[in-house]
Structure 1
Amino acid sequence: MGMNENVAKPLDQLLELLADDMNAVGTLLSERMSSRHAPRIPQVTAHLIGAGGKRLRPLLTVAAARLFDYQGTHHQLLAATVEFIHTATLLHDDVVDESKQRRNRPTANLLWDNKSSVLVGDYLFSRSFQLMVETDNMRVMSILANASATIAEGEVLQLTAAQDLATNEDIYLQVVRGKTAALFSAATEVGAVIAGASEEQIKALFDYGDALGIAFQIVDDLLDYTGASETIGKNTGDDFRERKLTLPVIKAVAKSDEAERAFWTRTIEKGDQRDGDLDEAMRIMNRHAALEDARKDALAWSARARAALEALPQSQLRDMLSDLADFVTARVA
């Protein structure tokens, strides 16, 4: 399940089409992550923001606004807001997960320390609220404030559900909607709102972002077991070593026999992991077609994202967003 090199990259096409907007967003990020009194803030932030990410979430905000020929600049403020929220959550996540690598680079908490990562993350959250307030639009502020709370709630839920074999697919979906899809859907929704789209169109873009975010996370969870480290930007099998009950494992646990369930209890619930356990986990998942079933789920969510766009007027940009939903799952196609 590797990257399909024959699939065109709509993400790059979107970045090219919306280059002026994204350059303006980049300038905003550079300006607003500065600090006169605490130089460590731009150091830590630049390390993560400059790590080569595609800035997918702010790109979605810009694209959603441009779908309706929006000519203002508030969508750029909102796109920067979304990226700061995302970066803040990554800084906090790496501390919680004790991660050592992200995007093929050492994590900020490893290069500096946990305190710096947490406090700089807090600073970026504060900056994000300053940015959104500048739009003077109460509805977008409400959407992004609610998304921030939902993200935090999803992360806390994951803490309690991650090592509990009773965690099922419904709980997993609730976690994913919180920690990942909430920001995707908020990103597309605020773009539509600031552009003055109709309620039907705003709902369509919310649904698109929600489904795209879920597909994105399922693919990410799959690649943790099937992708090469240099491709996924972290070590293969990290989720297993961190005892995370992601969708492939949840599906395997549901079909496991008594001996296999004892394996999951030892490795995931009790944290007693030994040499060869990752290989055994892969064997069990393959035996029960858990990876393939998770892949089918990702494709189904991608299809839902594409279907949501049908409520929007036909345009090149809409087609690119539809292709983006395919591209997200092309990594496991």
Structure 2
Amino acid sequence: MLDQKAHKPHERLAAHLRDDLNAVDAMIRTRMASAHAPRIPEVTAHLVEAGGKRLRPMLTLAAARMCGYEGDKHVILATAIEFIHTATLLHDDVVDESAQRRGRPTANLLWDNKSSVLVGDYLLARAFQLMTDTESLRILAVLSNASATITEGEVLQLTAAQDIGTTEEIYFKVVRGKTAALFSAATEAAGILAGVSEEQVEALYDYGDALGIAFQVVDDLLDFWGGEATGKNVGDDFRDRKMTLPIIKAIAAADAEERAFWKRTMEKADQRDGDLERALEIMDRHGALEETRQAALGWADKAKAALTSLPEDPIRDMLHDIADYVVERIS
């Protein structure tokens, strides 16, 4: 029975899919075990049990059920998706030299970089084992391509970082890699598993792709609009010299003096007192923050539009509401 106390759309969806999500959790615990290397379940459990919405595997379960799937392989697929996601988090924290995730110390801080990288590799291997259990070469191809795209996006982000010549085109390639690829794979693969039409498989891909992009654009915008209510410190991306959409838009509209400011702060790492305030003022003057907000809303609209060709179902309504929820804090 749907939990009437669950008000947020992802909470309502989680309540609707409670049995399936419990099955995914059980499979995660079983498949992250290692008979020979106890550190593997220790590191994995630290991250997996730290909380989080389980949004990506939930999208897989939701898409499969919405499309009428009645088997149990969607649980296998959702677990593979979560393992890929967890592996990328372990690797990202090493690359970014992060000390905290979801309010807890990162695995690389508690153990070491070697453990994080190797356990991430183990989870990717486990994910591919699970993919073969779906007995679908097409699903294997979708998730393999997504895994490659994620890595490609991370490497592209490394080359684009601190480069004020980074364009919006490059930014969205990075976003499709680091965020949207797994969203779209989660929904597309579920459609393939359910055996729906090619039109509906494409619609599921489009929904996941647009939702993932909206998710990341909102996250980048909240870096400048955030605060205690959002869990973000204002200006972290600026201090880390990340070329996110608001900064890219501001640089594209910059005059010579402003461009010199961005070159000093972003490329040369020469940041001084008052620079964040000036960066915010420049972005506001050129409408970069508002343009970024409109871009996020536009991607959320694309996600909702993709749902129209999918089966009418209460889950479809919840997926529609999730797209609205992603952009709610900037609406």
What is the distance in 2 between the residues matched to 1:93 and 1:228?
23
Query: Structure 1 counterpart of 2:262, which letter?
Result: W
Of 278, 285, 288, 1:287 maps to: 285
What is the distance in 1 between the residues matched to 2:260 and 2:234?
23
Structure 1 range deviating more: 7-16 or 76-85 = 7-16
The reply to whether residue 309 of structure 1 matches residue 298 of structure 2 is no
Alpha-carbon shift at residue 276 of structure 1 (Å): 2.8
The match for 1:191 is 190
What is the distance in 1 between the residues matched to 2:22 and 2:297?
32
Tell me the TM-score normalized by structure 2: 0.95
Q: Per the alignment, in what secondary structure is the counterpart of residue 331 of structure 1?
A: helix
What is the distance in 1 between the residues matched to 2:104 and 2:230?
12
- Please tell me whether the aligned partners of residues 97 and 242 of structure 1 are also in contact (alpha carbons under 8 angstroms): no
Alpha-carbon shift at residue 230 of structure 1 (Å): 6.4
Alignment CA distance shift 1:74-1:201 (3 Å): same
Alignment CA distance shift 1:51-1:13 (3 Å): same
The reply to whether residue 35 of structure 1 matches residue 34 of structure 2 is yes
The match for 2:91 is 92
The match for 1:179 is 178
Structure 1 range deviating more: 46-55 or 273-282 = 273-282
The reply to whether residue 264 of structure 1 matches residue 289 of structure 2 is no
Q: Per the alignment, in what secondary structure is the counterpart of residue 277 of structure 2?
A: helix
The match for 2:317 is 319
The match for 1:246 is 244
What is the distance in 1 between the residues matched to 2:257 and 2:104?
38
Alpha-carbon shift at residue 186 of structure 1 (Å): 0.3
- Please tell me whether the aligned partners of residues 226 and 233 of structure 2 are also in contact (alpha carbons under 8 angstroms): no
Within 5 A, what are the aligned runs for 1:51-130?
51-130=50-129
Cα-to-partner distance string for 1:82-133 (whole Å, 9 max, x where unaligned) = 0110111111111111112221222211222111111111111111001111
Within 5 A, what are the aligned runs for 1:12-27?
12-27=11-26
Within 5 A, what are the aligned runs for 1:141-156?
141-156=140-155
For structure 2, list consecutive stretches of 5 or more residues without a partner in the other structure. Answer: 1-5
Alignment CA distance shift 1:265-1:170 (3 Å): same
Alpha-carbon shift at residue 279 of structure 1 (Å): 2.3
Of all paired residues, the percent bearing the same amino acid is 66
Alpha-carbon shift at residue 176 of structure 1 (Å): 0.7
Cα-to-partner distance string for 1:222-256 (whole Å, 9 max, x where unaligned) = 11222225633x54422222211000110111112
Query: Structure 1 counterpart of 2:77, which letter?
Result: L
What is the distance in 2 between the residues matched to 1:40 and 1:238?
32
Alignment CA distance shift 1:235-1:98 (3 Å): farther
Query: Structure 1 counterpart of 2:237, which letter?
Result: D
- Please tell me whether the aligned partners of residues 101 and 235 of structure 1 are also in contact (alpha carbons under 8 angstroms): no
For structure 1, list consecutive stretches of 5 or more residues without a partner in the other structure. Answer: 1-6
The match for 1:218 is 217
Structure 1 range deviating more: 8-17 or 221-230 = 221-230
Of 314, 328, 331, 1:330 maps to: 328
What is the distance in 2 between the residues matched to 1:247 and 1:306?
22
The match for 1:4 is none
Structure 1 range deviating more: 273-282 or 308-317 = 273-282
Alpha-carbon shift at residue 273 of structure 1 (Å): 2.0
Q: Which has the higher contact order (CA 8 A, sep 6+)?
A: 1
Query: Where do 4+ consecutive residues of structure 1 move more than 4 Å?
Result: none
What is the distance in 1 between the residues matched to 2:268 and 2:93?
22
Alpha-carbon shift at residue 205 of structure 1 (Å): 0.4
Structure 1 range deviating more: 274-283 or 82-91 = 274-283
Q: Per the alignment, in what secondary structure is the counterpart of residue 109 of structure 2?
A: helix
The match for 2:3 is none
Q: Per the alignment, in what secondary structure is the counterpart of residue 35 of structure 1?
A: coil
Query: Structure 2 counterpart of 1:108, which letter?
Result: A
RMSD, aligned CA: 1.4
Cα-to-partner distance string for 1:42-95 (whole Å, 9 max, x where unaligned) = 121111111210010000000010012211111111101001101111111111
Q: Per the alignment, in what secondary structure is the counterpart of residue 41 of structure 2?
A: helix
Tell me the TM-score normalized by structure 1: 0.95
The reply to whether residue 158 of structure 1 matches residue 157 of structure 2 is yes
What is the distance in 1 between the residues matched to 2:94 and 2:81?
21
